[in-house]
């Protein structure tokens, strides 16, 4: 099994490895996904942005994890990507272009509990890219601030996107995304929590009644939302944001838009024109079980050998010798902490 490794600094010759990792499910995108597109996955309760201090206490450390795109067979094909945990979601950037309707070539894997592992730089030796920890300002850091995470996916009118506008009776009422016919409708599908529309605002702008409902028929009706978009403005504004909400859930939705019979009192008409919409692209990733590096499963602590067979399994609580005293500790944490110390 391949495992990401790195050097402690640019002049080092000894490789180190993160103690634990979790694999993400390989997906088949329904869109052509450009390199750099932000994916997300639910990591609630996984404590990926934590490390162990000297007392085996879990402390926050946003640089102690990294997402790597890798060939699981090769020992040299590793590509770290930028990532950031926001709330209960881990956002990470696509390492390369991914073609629609094709299972992605390699796998995204989260490595964690490794001090400063996001602060990496790389060089090439004998044709192989090597990564090393770099605390300087010149580091090819894979840290992303919250404001760096541009996780809105944009769909333009008349594109060949899987997610696109569907205009009802489009031959007559709708012409290139525009209509003044009261009752004319269109719909689209998207995934939350953010949804935004760009279009026309002007002196003859109308109103759109918007009904947003989950695609999942078993979802609670409390997740249904209704909005009114007023497209009136004193002067013409082309291709501007006319609507935005960020209060939806992380799930798939269908939105139905209908030109209202009621316009702004200052409007001279009911004209609507739509240019594009954006939302949070859902790659439908899921996180696998925690994998502990094989080398850690049998290690020596002081004069006592500790192994998964001796202490009853990785992750269990047992009486073991650590720092020459008996303590009731979580075996997993002791093994991880010791591994990071002795590498």
As a whole number of angstroms, the distance between CA 26 and CA 48 comes to 20
Ranges assigned E (strand) in 126-223: 128-133, 152-156, 166-167, 178-179, 185-191, 195-201, 207-214
pLDDT given for residue 155 in this prediction: 94
As a whole number of angstroms, the distance between CA 197 and CA 155 comes to 10
pLDDT of 302 higher than 50? no
Contact 187, 231 (CB under 8 A): no
Q: What b/e sequence results for 19-33 when a residue is b if at least 16 CB atoms lie within 10 Å of its CB, and e otherwise?
A: bbbbbbeebebebeb
Selection from 95, 122, 121, 89 nearest residue 108 by Cα: 95
Identify the bridge partners of residue 123 per DSSP, sorted by sequence position. Answer: 130
- Going by pLDDT thresholds of 50, 70 and 90, the confidence category of residue 106 is very high
- Going by pLDDT thresholds of 50, 70 and 90, the confidence category of residue 226 is very high
- Going by pLDDT thresholds of 50, 70 and 90, the confidence category of residue 306 is very low
Encoded tokens for 198 = 């760009």
Domain ranges of the chain: 6-151+284-292, 156-278, 295-343
pLDDT of 329 higher than 60? no
The percentage of residues in the chain with a pLDDT greater than 90, rounded to a whole number, is 53
pLDDT of 319 higher than 50? no
Alpha carbon distance, N-terminus to C-terminus of the chain: 19
Q: Is 321 helix (H, G, I), strand (E, B) or coil?
A: strand
Range from 130-134, 254-258, 271-275, 285-289 carrying the lowest mean pLDDT: 130-134
Identify the bridge partners of residue 271 per DSSP, sorted by sequence position. Answer: 205
- Pick the most confident of 39-43, 164-168, 327-331: 39-43
Sequence-distant (6+) residues with CB within 8 A of 149 are: 38, 84, 86, 91
Phi, then psi, of 36 in degrees rounded to 5: 95, -15
pLDDT given for residue 101 in this prediction: 95
> Secondary structure of the chain: what % helix, strand, coil (to 5)?
10, 45, 50
pTM over 0.75: yes
State the average pLDDT over residues 282-291.
94
Q: 136-157: per-residue pLDDT in tens?
A: 776 667 777 777 787 789 999 9
Phi-psi region of 142 (alpha: psi -120 to 50; beta: other; left: phi over 0): alpha
State the average pLDDT over residues 64-85.
90
pLDDT given for residue 292 in this prediction: 87
As a whole number of angstroms, the distance between CA 193 and CA 187 comes to 17
pLDDT of 323 higher than 50? no
Torsion of CA 154, 160, 164, 169, to 10 degrees: 150
As a whole number of angstroms, the distance between CA 145 and CA 312 comes to 40
Q: 247-258: per-residue pLDDT in tens?
A: 999 999 999 999
Q: How far is CA 133 from CA 122, 147, 253, in A?
A: 9, 24, 42
Sequence-distant (6+) residues with CB within 8 A of 8 are: 14, 16, 132, 133
Which residue is it, tokens 């090439």? 124
pLDDT given for residue 301 in this prediction: 47
Q: 201-222: per-residue pLDDT in tens?
A: 999 999 999 999 999 888 787 7
pLDDT of 269 higher than 70? yes
Higher pLDDT pick, 274 / 311: 274
Which residue is it, tokens 């008349």? 158
Encoded tokens for 258 = 């209908």
As a whole number of angstroms, the distance between CA 250 and CA 235 comes to 36
Which residue is it, tokens 């390699």? 106
Higher pLDDT pick, 191 / 330: 191
The percentage of residues in the chain with a pLDDT greater than 70, rounded to a whole number, is 84
The DSSP 8-state label assigned to residue 222 in this structure reads G
State the average pLDDT over residues 307-328.
38
Range from 33-42, 67-76, 80-89, 169-178 carrying the lowest mean pLDDT: 169-178
Fold of domain 156-278: Jelly Rolls (2.60.120)
């Amino acid at each position: 099994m391949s495992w990401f490794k790195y050097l402690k600094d640019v002049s080092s010759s000894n490789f180190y490895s993160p103690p634990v990792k979790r694999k993400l499910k390989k997906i088949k995108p329904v869109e052509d996904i450009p390199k750099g597109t932000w994916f997300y996955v639910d990591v609630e309760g996984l404590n990926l942005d934590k490390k162990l201090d000297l007392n085996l206490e879990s402390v926050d450390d946003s640089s102690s994890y990294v997402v790597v795109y890798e060939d699981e067979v090769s020992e040299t094909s590793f590509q770290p990507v930028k990532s950031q945990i926001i709330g209960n979601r881990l956002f990470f950037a696509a390492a390369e272009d991914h073609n629609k309707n094709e299972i992605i070539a390699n796998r995204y894997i989260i490595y964690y509990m490794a001090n400063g592992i996001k602060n990496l730089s790389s060089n090439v030796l004998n044709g192989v890219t090597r990564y090393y920890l770099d605390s300087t300002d010149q580091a090819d850091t894979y840290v992303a601030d919250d404001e760096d995470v541009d996780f809105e996916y944009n769909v333009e009118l008349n594109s060949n996107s899987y997610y696109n506008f569907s205009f009802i009776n489009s031959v007559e009422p709708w012409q290139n995304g525009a209509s003044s016919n009261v009752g004319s409708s269109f719909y689209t599908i998207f995934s939350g929590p953010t949804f935004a529309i760009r279009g026309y605002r002007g002196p003859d702008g109308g109103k759109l009644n918007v009904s947003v409902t989950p695609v999942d028929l078993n979802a609670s009706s409390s997740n249904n939302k209704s909005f009114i978009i007023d497209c009136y403005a004193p002067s013409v504004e082309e291709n501007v944001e006319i609507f935005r909400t960020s209060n939806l859930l992380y799930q798939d939705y269908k939105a139905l838009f209908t030109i209202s019979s009621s316009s702004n009192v200052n409007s001279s008409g009911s004209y609507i024109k739509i240019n594009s919409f954006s939302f949070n692209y859902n790659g439908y990733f899921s996180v696998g079980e925690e994998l502990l590096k094989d080398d850690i499963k049998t290690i020596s602590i002081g004069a006592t050998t500790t192994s998964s067979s001796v202490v009853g399994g990785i992750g269990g609580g047992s009486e073991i010798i650590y720092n020459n005293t008996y303590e009731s500790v979580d075996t997993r944490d002791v093994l991880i902490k010791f591994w990071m110390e002795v590498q």
